[in-house]
Chains A and B, each alone.
Chain A
Amino acid sequence: MKDLAREVGKYIRIFIHYKKINFSGRLAYRFNFSLIALAVIFQIFFNLVFIRIIFGWVKNIQGWNYYEVLLVVGTVMLLDGLMWASFAFMSALKMHIKQGTLDGLIVKPMDTQYLVSIYRGDLEDTARIITALGVIIFCIRNLSIGWMSLSLNLFWYVITVICGWVIIYSIAVILNAISFWTIETASSFNLADTIVRSSQYPVDIFGSKFLRYSLTFILPLGFLGTFQAKILSRGFNPLLIAGSIAMAFIFFSISRFIWNRGLAKYSSASS
């Protein structure tokens, strides 16, 4: 048990170290960072204003009032921010395969999937996380939830947000693991490749950020955020909670399986 605890501690410490490297690397290019952070804030602002305007006309949508809907938006924002800040949609994998630097990670005495996952993290998405938290707190204050049920709901909210984080991570792994097979065959008609590539490089900030954001709606992020928000505002829902946890396990197992297959393919094909 002590060994396990030490290993977990090590993995967490390495995660923090990598994020420090990612973030300080990002800050090194100050102009670039400011521009991107500005774009993120603008995007968030635009979305919030949009919701406000809609709710200027209607009192509720399908039984959801303004604050409940806003909570969904905030949760989606939170998950989006967590995803990009912690593992940047696993975009590091394609880069490593192309540059041949994946080998350097395979020989390290730590899980390769982990090392590739945490390799990149976008600092500007912490702005997204902070704003999301602000929005969520704002909504909580304006929804009439009693203190007792609030703390309970928050607990389950956190659990289901973590499940959502795991599910998005797993989807990212699955989509990116396609690179293990497609780089070899190198056909030009590769849709997943294009999707992942366009969400990879925030150099053209405006273009790809919007694409990134719309991507998160194509993927089940939309309804992932909904589950969590519902639990927070409407209370304990065993079906949703069990469902989230089950989904997280299933998605993670599938992604791990596909990753291992992909890595095996890489290990017999690359030269």
Chain B
Amino acid sequence: MEVIKVEKLNKVYVSHKKQPGVMAGLKNLLHAETVEVKAVDDISFKIEEGEFVGFLGPNGAGKTTTLKMLSGIIKPTSGEVSVLGYDPWERKNEYKRQFALLMGQKNQLWWDLPVMESFLLNKKIYDISDADYKESLDELVTLLDVSKILDIQVRKLSLGERMKCELIASLLHRPKVLFLDEPTIGLDVIAQKSMRDFLVRYNKEKKITIILTSHYMEDIERLCERIIIINQKIFYDGPLKELIDKYAKNKLLTITFENAIERRDIERFGEVSNFDPIKVTFKVPKSDVRNVAKDILSSDLPVDDIMIDEMDIENIIRNIFKKTNEDK
């Protein structure tokens, strides 16, 4: 069942040119120069129920703007948006009750009060029954392991604990759609893993449709079967694996040696991406990697260990971004 449908969506911002200085500020009052910025350029995509989609793109690519248009916060310049059959811009309460938006850098919880207070307020605002509330709360608190901190003031919590609570606050009303804008930003490794594990499980169990924007490759790798690369336009929409196959033409071949070797001894085998006297990494085209490995192994070099890896996805994506910027 199709849950999200976006067709030829555009967003153009008109902003005033601002120059520093008092004279410029005065001039600005009388005659403001406007500048048009195209944040989102003719994008289209469809998302089915239960999908977990990653939005990837450099800063300023339009990821947050797109999420805001899907939430009804920002009005599109042109194009169609439909989520759960509603036009988000109409801001109907029935729609609002069925989705949640969590922005990683913005707090919704009351800073000076215990976490529970913010939960109770959401319960009232979303008209959640006592029974449903208790069930959702217990489940979420157990899954995220935060039962001990519910009575602590939000300002005393660590960032990781706070984000978990923000997540609970947005899921109490059991939304069918969840928009996550960089939810793991600033979290330590353990907290990130914790959140990812939870999201994977929650998505599978509740069949909730999730869109996630992130800079962290691990988020995308771990969570999203499907990724959309956006940089004003959509440059890719499909499974992550295919993306790697399509854009990553090289593999990484890492050889560990028993004794130290010299650079000139191994340079002939291929492009060296990282050299260490006992550990060398080659960047080898996928088609050649077997042959290169065979050559090295059958040579008289003291090979101890051999490892063949995908190109660092981070680098792949970075190259794609560079390419998309050039293509614009």
Contact = CB atoms under 8 A, between A and B. Distances in A.
Interface string A231-271: 00000000000000000000000000000000010011111
Interface stretch (B110-118, B246-254, B308-316, B319-327): B110-118
16 contacts: A10-B124, A18-B121, A101-B106, A103-B71, A104-B106, A107-B73, A107-B100, A107-B101, A108-B96, A109-B125, A185-B16, A185-B32, A186-B18, A188-B25, A264-B75, A267-B73
Contacts of B126: 108-109
A106 B96 CA distance: 9
Contacts of A271: 13, 39, 64-65, 74
Contact of B121 (A10, A17, A25, A99): A17
Nearest to A268: B75
Interface string A87-126: 0000000000001110110111110000000000000000
B108 interface: yes
Given A103-B101, A187-B29, A271-B39, A28 B124 contact: no
Given A103-B73, A187-B29, 19 more contacts: A10-B124, A13-B124, A18-B121, A21-B121, A101-B107, A103-B71, A104-B106, A104-B108, A107-B72, A108-B126, A109-B97, A109-B126, A109-B127, A110-B93, A184-B16, A186-B18, A188-B25, A189-B26, A268-B74
Kindly list the 4 A-B residue pairs having the minimum CB-CB distance in the complex, ordered from nearest. A109-B96, A109-B93, A104-B108, A25-B112
Contacts of A107: 71-73, 96, 99-101
Interface in A185-227: 185-189
Given A13-B124, A21-B121, A110-B125, A185 B28 contact: yes
A14 interface: yes
B147 interface: no
Interface of A: 10, 13-14, 17-18, 21, 24-25, 28, 99-101, 103-104, 106-110, 184-189, 264, 267-271
A147 B91 CA distance: 52
Most buried by B among A107, A186, A271: A107
Contacts of A184: 15-16
B103 interface: yes
B106 A269 contact: no
B193 interface: no
Contact of B74 (A10, A99, A100, A270): A270
Interface of B: 13-16, 18, 22, 25-26, 28-29, 32, 39, 64-65, 68, 71-75, 91, 93-94, 96-97, 99-101, 103, 106-108, 110, 112-113, 117, 120-121, 124-127
B124 A267 contact: no
A170 B7 CA distance: 40
A106 B91 contact: yes
Contacts of B110: 21, 25
A107 B97 CA distance: 9
B25 A187 contact: yes
A83 B126 CA distance: 27
B29 A106 contact: no
Contacts of A264: 75
Contacts of A108: 96, 125-126
Contacts of B29: 187, 189
Given A17-B121, A107-B101, A25 B106 contact: no
B232 to A, nearest CB: 13
Nearest to B62: A271
Given A13-B124, A14-B124, A187-B29, A106 B72 contact: yes
Contacts of A268: 74-75
A28 B120 CA distance: 19
A103 B16 contact: no
A106 B117 contact: no
B15 A269 contact: yes
Contacts of B15: 184, 269
A101 B111 CA distance: 13
Contacts of B28: 185, 187
Contacts of B16: 184-185
Nearest to A186: B18
B106 A100 contact: yes
A103 B96 contact: no
Nearest to A102: B73
